[in-house]
Structure 1
Amino acid sequence: MKEQEITRYLHSRYGMMLMMAAAVIGTIIAYRNGDIVYITGNNGFGLPSANEWITDRYASLWAGIAVNVLLALLLSYMNRRFNVLRTMSHLFVGMFMIMQGGLPSIMGQFYDGTVMCAILLFAIIPLFSTFQNPDLTRRIFLTFFLISIGSLTSYAYAIYIVAFLVGCLQMRSFTMRGLMAATIGIVTPYWILWGFGIISPSNFTLPEFVSLFNALEGRELAQIIVYTGVTLFLGFGFDTLNLMRIYRYNARTRAYNGFWLVVSLITAVLIFVDYNNLIIYLPILNCCSALQIGHFFRFNNQLRSYIPILCIIGAYTALYIWSISI
């Protein structure tokens, strides 16, 4: 196979499907070997955390895989709908799945991290559609309504409200009516559930923290820390390389990519501040990093660009092998 054909294949839909299949198969193997580290604890304010919704581990495995496939589809849809990367390459979607599969524990179970990532992606779609359309207050309401629902199950959602408020400014849709729509969107889920008696003031307790450092053994913890470090390095490394090129885009595309940068920064800060629960933030971090990888190889689609792509895949393959050998 010629080098140009290899590069083209990695960017194609078939390359994405191959990477997705590899991640799914690897996760199933890890599950059968007993290498999935299960998340415990309840981080919700009024409703149980997502990791408590499905108690059967086999069902949790397939639910987790299904949510990850949904995340890949949402990323692909978002790029087609808003042209965030200004390319129809599917490489970044495949890279996201490879990154998820590199740590089977975040792909092989249904838990807060992947659910939060899905809800945030669903919330980003109406937000992006409001660019220079401040009258679309219903979509602003929907964005914050989704995040607010999530905040009932995990406190981590609440922090991202800041990112989406900044996003409204970047979309040039932040007016007094927009602020009111956002406020009502945040309040409405609590109001509805309280009105139906599903939650009450007595439900609002402090999250039950289970420290990652206490829950994991030394080698498992080291693997997660190294995995996180590699993803942070790739994400912000490629972001730095892409920055000047993205700046040359039109205002709409700059706004979209600027929002993703804000999400990346907030996620990185949360990983260091809320380090006991860093595993919750890994799926959204992987989304941000995969987008930056996709940007870079959109700019640098030379004959042998497949070599660094395969090196990144090799790095996550090595992390996967490490995780199943612990």
Structure 2
Amino acid sequence: MSTQYRGIGKTGLVIAAMVMLAMTAITFMLRPSERITGELGICLPSPNTWNIPPISSWMINTVLLGAIAAGGFFLNRTHNFIRSTQPVLPAMFLVLAGSNPWLNYYLSSSTLICVVNLLALSILFGEYKSHNATQAMFAIGTFFSVGSMFQYAFLPMTVAYIVGAIMMKAFRIKEFLALCMGLVAPYWVGVGLGLIHPDWFTVPEFTNLFSDFAKASEIVVLAVSVGVAIFCGALLALNNSIKLYAGNSRVNALNMTITILGVVCVVCIFVDFSNMLAYLGTLYFTVSVQVANLCALWRMRREWIAVAVPAFVYVIFFILMIVNGGSPG
């Protein structure tokens, strides 16, 4: 019995962590110079402009990526949305996030958005069939509102939590009002106390995927790697939904919320391509959940293959991006 099923275990997780650390270290040492940026903060400087020493920024970002991986593992231990104790989710996330030189070099909006999304998921998952989820929705709205001051990409994430709360039967008029209050309150307090000057507010500038910006040769490999992640994530989500739909309704609702979060990221990547990096950390997290569900739902006898193959592919992407002068943004 036990000989028929071989999970990746702690060994697989350690290997994934070592690969991730190696890739982040290589990126830091090579330090590519070019950056991809968009109009980021609504009223405050975005993380990539913060005056943090490079080594400190790199270390903080690396620690946060590790914390996201660990947080995803313990989130599943608490809510059991992946019917397995194998560390496929954290292992896959570490490799995906580490394989992108644009994300692993220093503290970026992408990492911070993923941290806030993980926190918001942990709050929302505890409200399944709740008769009063106003505090949870207010907190979620507040987190994303504060984040949007530094990076407007935080705001679209709230759509996933509205849909998720509806699917978990915890969203009514009062929850909607609580979410809106959470979104408004930080700006109201900031302007009211004089912490934010009205002149600091800016309007985001969007760049479509098919504009001249997307044709730059230095982002071709990045675009292909993101496209592969989107395609595989969508394929796995459809595949996993077959068994999830027929299973426990709570587990299905939790997984659908994560899937919707991934869909929101994909839409934002296409609409706001110049700022696509901000959404990639969360996209990688949702894809990692799909890979973990694939292994758990279909009880793959050689689970390590499902992790090793995409990991190998993304290590190749990493090498190609480094060779082609990939840089953090």
1:207-261 superposed Cα distances (whole Å, 9 cap, x missing partner):
4679998889944311111110111122111112111101022121111011112
Change beyond 3 A, Cα 1:74–1:38: farther
- The CA deviation at 1:136 is 3.4
Between the aligned partners of 1:60 and 1:125, the Cα distance in structure 2 is 26
Whole-angstrom CA distance in 2 between matches of 1:178 and 1:211: 33
Residue of structure 2 equivalent to 1:325: 323
Q: Of 312, 315, 320, which residue of structure 2 is paired with 1:314?
A: 312
Q: Does 1:73 align with 2:62?
A: no
The amino acid across from 1:188 in the alignment is: A
Could you tell which deviates more after superposition, 45-54 or 112-121? 45-54
Do the aligned residues in 1 keep the contact of 2:167 with 2:253 (CA within 8 Å)? Answer: yes
* Distance across 1 between alignment mates of 2:4 and 2:27: 32
- Whether the aligned pair in 1 keeps the contact of 2:41 and 2:150 (CA below 8 Å) is yes
Aligned to 2:327: none
Q: Is 1:230 the equivalent of 2:232?
A: no
Conserved? CA contact 1:96–1:287, under 8 Å: yes
Match of 1:158 in 2: 155
Cα distance change of structure 1 residues 35 and 26 upon mapping to structure 2, 3 Å threshold: same
Identity score, percent: 26
1:119/1:214 Cα in 2 relative to 1: closer, same or farther (>3 Å)?
Answer: farther
Out of 257, 261, 264, the position equivalent to 2:262 is 264
Counterpart selection for 2:273 from 266, 272, 275 = 275
Whether 1:7 aligns to 2:6 is yes
Matched with 1:190 is 187
**Are residues 1:31 and 2:28 paired?**
yes
Q: Which moved more, 1:126-135 or 1:290-299?
A: 126-135
For 2:5 and 2:107, the matched residues in 1 are separated by: 34
Partner amino acid, structure 1, of 2:180 = T
Pair 162,5 (structure 1): closer, same or farther in 2 beyond 3 Å: same
CA pair 257-6 structure 1, distance change in 2 beyond 3 A: closer
Partner of 2:110: 113
- What is aligned with 2:18? 21
1:90 matched to 2:109: no
3-state SS, counterpart of residue 276 of structure 2: helix
Q: Does 1:127 align with 2:124?
A: yes
- In the other structure, the counterpart of 1:102 is 99
Return closer, same or farther for 1:15/1:168 CA change in 2, 3 Å cut-off.
same
Aligned equivalents of 2:72 and 2:284: distance in 1?
12
Corresponding residue for 1:288?
286
How many residues are matched?
A: 322
Which of the numbers 187, 191, 202 marks the counterpart of 2:199? 202
Q: Displacement, 1:305?
A: 3.7
Cα drift, residue 171 of structure 1: 1.8
Q: How does 1:134-149 map to 2 (within 5 A)?
A: 134-149=131-146
- Mapping of 1:41-56 within 5 angstroms? 42-56=39-53
* Residues 1:57 and 2:45 aligned together: no
CA distance in structure 1 between the aligned counterparts of 2:275 and 2:35, rounded to whole angstroms: 13
Structure 2: how far apart are the matches of 1:211 and 1:37?
20
Q: Structure 1 residue 167: deviation in Å?
A: 1.6
Pairing 1:246–2:244 present: yes
Q: Which moved more, 1:71-80 or 1:90-99?
A: 71-80
1:180 is the counterpart of 2:172: no
Aligned equivalents of 1:217 and 1:31: distance in 2? 26
Structure 2 unaligned residues grouped into runs of 5+: 325-329
Deviates more, 1:278-287 or 1:302-311: 302-311
Q: Structure 2: which amino acid aligns with 1:325?
A: V
Deviation sequence 1:142-163 (CA, Å, 0-9, x none)? 1111111111111111112222
- Alpha-carbon contact 1:31-1:108 (below 8 Å) kept: yes
Contact map agreement 2:43 2:196 (CA 8 A) in 1? yes
Q: Distance in 2 between matches of 1:252 and 1:124?
A: 14
2:12–2:91: 8 Å Cα contact kept in structure 1? yes
Q: Relative contact order, CA 8 A, sep 6+: which one is greater?
A: 2
The answer to whether the 8 A contact 1:27-1:107 is kept is yes
Work out the CA distance in 2 between the residues paired with 1:77 and 1:146: 21
Measured in 2, the distance between the counterparts of 1:136 and 1:268 equals: 27
User: How far has the Cα of 1:5 moved from its partner?
Assistant: 9.4
Q: Which whole-Å CA distance do the structure 1 matches of 2:201 and 2:139 have between them?
A: 23
Q: CA deviation at 1:58?
A: 2.2
Does the CA-based 8 Å contact 2:127-2:168 persist in structure 1? yes
Contact 2:213 2:274 in 1 (8 A): no
Q: Partners of 1:38 and 1:221 in 2: how far apart?
A: 10
- RMSD of Structure 2 on Structure 1 (CA): 2.4
User: For residues 208 and 151 of structure 2, what CA distance do their matches in structure 1 show?
Assistant: 15
Cα 1:297–1:18, aligned 2, differ >3 Å: closer, same or farther?
same
Q: Distance in 1 between matches of 2:179 and 2:208?
A: 33
Amino acid corresponding to residue 153 of structure 2 in structure 1: A
Kindly indicate whether the alpha-carbon contact (under 8 Å) linking 1:42 and 1:48 is maintained by their aligned counterparts in 2: no
